[in-house]
Amino acid sequence: MNHIIRIATALALTLSVATGALAAGAAAISGEVKKIDEGAGKITLKHGPAKSLGMDEPMTMVYRVKDAAMLKQVKVGDKVTFEAEEAASGYTVTKMEKAK
């Protein structure tokens, strides 16, 4: 009986980790930097569908950035992957890195 419980626990843990990894991957959005406005703390990104934000179509949007230092790590034309969240004041990029 203990053997069955251990197997069931290991299976549940594996499923939980896999589900979390899939959810994290779904939040990443691929895009291209079109404009950077350091003074306003904003970035314009042309991106594909952003399922995590409820956007099914590709578009170009202006986003605020959570940390202004993100704007110094990219330049216009860079391909990036990013995560964003919706707030009352608009959409904010919470994480961004150059695409590999």
Running along the chain, 100 residues long, what does each successive block of 10 average in pLDDT? 65 50 61 97 96 92 96 97 92 93
pLDDT of residue 19: 43
Total tally of structural domains belonging to the chain: 1
CA distances from 84 to 6, 13, 17, 44 (A): 38, 28, 22, 13
Q: What is the CATH number of the domain that holds 46?
A: 2.40.50.320
pLDDT of residue 17: 46
For residue 6, give its domain range.
Answer: 2-98
pLDDT of residue 7: 66
pLDDT of residue 45: 98
Hey, what are 26's tokens? 């779904």
pLDDT of residue 61: 96
